[in-house]
Structure 1
């Protein structure tokens, strides 16, 4: 077999493969055997007819078609390895020559990874918000906890923010009632802003038994995007009474005996959450800096596939129904053009990020993903999706997603190493201890290196959507 590669663009190549007939004898044998099982030849048991008789029955063309179709996948894979080509998607293959008893030629065009120079981590100067917590933060956390144990009490006064109302709603469009916008006894928290636009202003200041009218645009249904005249009636007004923040409350709401111990624990939670937010800010800022410094093209076909996948993730089975998508977007006040542009921008960024971090990982031969790391990530994803870990793992294996998960973990580790090498300070000029946030991901390489051989997967497969 002979193969050559032509660079069509920085992200696309054409591979030409020539296979002489003398290399196809095993392929012909398999083709004759397969065709023999499909053709009934008088005088021969099924599958036992000689090759010449099979060829006479089905024609030489059918035999050649079977041979060519069967041999292409293996010869294509061999050409990829031979020419060190890293594909990012499925190829477009065309058979360009079949000269019987001489040669078969086919060409494959495929998107490939561009050449990427990963910026030096030491060249990245990153600034993130200062890590700080205050007594107000702890008090707010305590108030949230108290609210969970609060009680609602009816009051005879006008409604204000934070009150809970029982309301009736009725709407008309051009004087005609709108049944789907009519309801009774609906519970609503003033200030939540979760219902119709204009409702907040209408209910504030109303007491039980009072009504108000306002105009708003309906978001869905037969009258979507039309102005509706809405009447809201307040049936009752209730305020939430919070329990006293004392030792009795601490014992009721937690495992602590005193309010001081509870507040200390809440302070630790607030600090931990703030640290998590700072770590996320570091990660995002380093990644953004890397993407700004790294200049490379992304394959359009791969971006198209990623955009299609994102649309499917948003709309599910309705992703193929343009009319449904258009009506949903119209109800949300956006156009299909704006939506498609936003999705494509996100898809391009996602592909660019994957390619950059793959290049960073490949620059480190000692960066491995151990079996424990892979399983931990799978368990985390199972928990995140609310699934039984064993069931989720079975689904991952059935859908052939191990390679994609392996690639995700590997990229995360590559980014962690880049973060550790970056210059990160907060807005107050203090150096941020990135080791505290990301050191564990890198340290696990040595402990898991001996187990990584158990994971046989091509990370490139994880890029195919």
Structure 2
């Protein structure tokens, strides 16, 4: 076999391949065998029809077509390996010549990973928010804990904001009660905004036994997105009572003996959260600077596929679970279709460039993924997917996605290398040292995932 490679542009090549006919022998034999099992000829047992008879009855062309289809993937792979290119996606193959007994020639055009020069990232500087936890932050955190330990007591008065009401709901669309439009005994805290738009105004001022009707757009169910006439009947009103903020509350709500100790722990937890947010912010901004320094061409077909994948995931998975259409989502976001298309394309470009650049750095720095790192990443991904580690691991193995997980961790390690080399200061002018963060690699992997999205740049041969 002879092959040659022609660079069409930085992200696409054309392979030209010539195969001597004798190299098709195994595929020809397989083609005759396959046809033998599929057809019957009077006077011959099934599977025992001579090749010359198959040629006469069904045509030599049918055999050649079957043989070529069988052989092409192997010859294409050999040509790819010989040319030392990294194809992305499936090739566009064109058979240019097929002479029976002499020669098979074909061309294959395919997108490839571009050659990328890793820029000098040692001079990257970014600014991040300073870690500041105010007394108001601590008070708000303690108040949220206090809310969790609130008790409710029935009252015989009109409902007011903050009360917990028990209600029966009936929803009608165009005068007809929906099949799933009746719900009895629903508990709702007035002012929480957790049910239907308009319900707060409807139930405020009603006593037990009171009833009101309001119009609201349904968020889910069989008529999601439609305007409905909702009748709400209050069956009970209860007032929420918050516990006193004292040492007794601290002992009830935590492992601490005093309120001061509880507040000190809340401050420490808030500082840890802000420290994590600061590290994430640093990683995101360093990655932005790193991408700006590099020249990274993006294959058009790959970009098109990535944009379509992102749209599909948003529309059929994320929005589908919330009962929202794309049109309603854009309306809630205040975006036009054109703005959405532009934003999605920009995100896709950034995701592809991030994968290309960090993968190149992984290769250059010879970064390896340890089993412990992969296990930690698997545990986190399992938790975020709502599956047990064993279930998630089984799904990953069965889906052939282990290389994808390894790639995610490796890119996280690559980004961590760049972040460690960068100068990070906060808004107070203080240098931020992220090198002591034990979870730096895993946090960086999360940052990369957020940019690259669910779709992986697949290399296929």
- Give the TM-score band, short-chain normalised: 0.7 to 0.9
Distance in 2, matches of 1:239 and 1:273, equals 33
Instruction: Specify the alignment match of 1:16 in structure 2.
Output: 16
Preserved contact between residue 420 and residue 438 of structure 1 (Cα < 8 Å): no
User: Secondary structure of 1:109's partner?
Assistant: strand
User: Secondary structure of 2:193's partner?
Assistant: coil
Distance in 1, matches of 2:330 and 2:418, equals 42
How many correspondences in the alignment? 439
Distance in 2, matches of 1:211 and 1:325, equals 32
Distance in 2, matches of 1:390 and 1:291, equals 36
Preserved contact between residue 167 and residue 185 of structure 1 (Cα < 8 Å): yes
Q: 2:89 aligned with 1:107, yes or no? A: no
Residues 345 and 104 of structure 1: is their aligned pair in 2 closer, same or farther, counting only changes over 3 Å?
same
Give, in angstroms, the shift of residue 463 of structure 1. Answer: 1.6
User: Secondary structure of 1:434's partner?
Assistant: coil
| Post-superposition CA distance 1:377-396 (Å, at most 9, x none) | 22221222122322222211
Instruction: Specify the alignment match of 2:31 in structure 1.
Output: 31
Instruction: Specify the alignment match of 1:343 in structure 2.
Output: 344
User: Secondary structure of 1:3's partner?
Assistant: strand
Give, in angstroms, the shift of residue 237 of structure 1. Answer: 5.2
Preserved contact between residue 407 and residue 462 of structure 1 (Cα < 8 Å): no
Distance in 2, matches of 1:223 and 1:121, equals 50
Instruction: Specify the alignment match of 2:146 in structure 1.
Output: 146
Give, in angstroms, the shift of residue 406 of structure 1. Answer: 1.6
Distance in 1, matches of 2:116 and 2:159, equals 60
Q: 2:457 aligned with 1:463, yes or no? A: yes
Give, in angstroms, the shift of residue 418 of structure 1. Answer: 0.7
Residues 167 and 293 of structure 1: is their aligned pair in 2 closer, same or farther, counting only changes over 3 Å?
farther
Distance in 2, matches of 1:89 and 1:33, equals 31
Preserved contact between residue 282 and residue 424 of structure 1 (Cα < 8 Å): yes
Distance in 1, matches of 2:42 and 2:430, equals 89
Residues 158 and 127 of structure 1: is their aligned pair in 2 closer, same or farther, counting only changes over 3 Å?
farther
Preserved contact between residue 319 and residue 326 of structure 2 (Cα < 8 Å): no
Instruction: Specify the alignment match of 1:426 in structure 2.
Output: 426
Distance in 2, matches of 1:140 and 1:268, equals 14
Distance in 2, matches of 1:374 and 1:223, equals 41
Residues 337 and 232 of structure 1: is their aligned pair in 2 closer, same or farther, counting only changes over 3 Å?
farther
Residues 292 and 216 of structure 1: is their aligned pair in 2 closer, same or farther, counting only changes over 3 Å?
farther
Instruction: Specify the alignment match of 1:358 in structure 2.
Output: 359
Unaligned 5+ residue runs, structure 1?
443-460
Residues 300 and 189 of structure 1: is their aligned pair in 2 closer, same or farther, counting only changes over 3 Å?
farther
Residues 372 and 292 of structure 1: is their aligned pair in 2 closer, same or farther, counting only changes over 3 Å?
same
Preserved contact between residue 6 and residue 13 of structure 2 (Cα < 8 Å): yes
| Post-superposition CA distance 1:27-59 (Å, at most 9, x none) | 333334444444556777655555445544543
| Post-superposition CA distance 1:54-78 (Å, at most 9, x none) | 5445432222112211111111112
Residues 290 and 156 of structure 1: is their aligned pair in 2 closer, same or farther, counting only changes over 3 Å?
farther
Instruction: Specify the alignment match of 1:131 in structure 2.
Output: 131
Preserved contact between residue 211 and residue 231 of structure 2 (Cα < 8 Å): yes
Question: Which one is further off, 46-55 or 264-273?
Answer: 46-55
Residues 64 and 353 of structure 1: is their aligned pair in 2 closer, same or farther, counting only changes over 3 Å?
same
1:113-262 superposed matches below 5 A = 113-154=113-154, 162-166=162-166, 177=175, 179=177, 186-197=186-197, 206=205, 208=207, 224=225, 238-262=238-262
Preserved contact between residue 219 and residue 331 of structure 1 (Cα < 8 Å): no
Distance in 1, matches of 2:439 and 2:154, equals 54
Distance in 2, matches of 1:354 and 1:85, equals 17
Residues 343 and 235 of structure 1: is their aligned pair in 2 closer, same or farther, counting only changes over 3 Å?
farther
Distance in 1, matches of 2:34 and 2:211, equals 80
Give, in angstroms, the shift of residue 425 of structure 1. Answer: 0.6
Instruction: Specify the alignment match of 1:453 in structure 2.
Output: none
Distance in 2, matches of 1:135 and 1:68, equals 75
Residues 464 and 249 of structure 1: is their aligned pair in 2 closer, same or farther, counting only changes over 3 Å?
same
Residues 419 and 438 of structure 1: is their aligned pair in 2 closer, same or farther, counting only changes over 3 Å?
farther
Distance in 1, matches of 2:317 and 2:142, equals 43
Residues 214 and 44 of structure 1: is their aligned pair in 2 closer, same or farther, counting only changes over 3 Å?
closer
Distance in 2, matches of 1:177 and 1:266, equals 52
Give, in angstroms, the shift of residue 165 of structure 1. Answer: 3.9
Distance in 2, matches of 1:318 and 1:70, equals 40
Instruction: Specify the alignment match of 1:87 in structure 2.
Output: 87
Preserved contact between residue 54 and residue 60 of structure 2 (Cα < 8 Å): no
Q: 2:410 aligned with 1:410, yes or no? A: yes
Distance in 2, matches of 1:381 and 1:150, equals 34
Preserved contact between residue 93 and residue 108 of structure 1 (Cα < 8 Å): yes
User: Secondary structure of 1:367's partner?
Assistant: coil
Distance in 2, matches of 1:16 and 1:263, equals 72
User: Secondary structure of 1:15's partner?
Assistant: strand
Instruction: Specify the alignment match of 2:6 in structure 1.
Output: 6
Residues 60 and 229 of structure 1: is their aligned pair in 2 closer, same or farther, counting only changes over 3 Å?
closer
User: Secondary structure of 1:14's partner?
Assistant: strand
Question: Which one is further off, 329-338 or 96-105?
Answer: 329-338
Instruction: Specify the alignment match of 1:377 in structure 2.
Output: 377
Instruction: Specify the alignment match of 1:311 in structure 2.
Output: 311
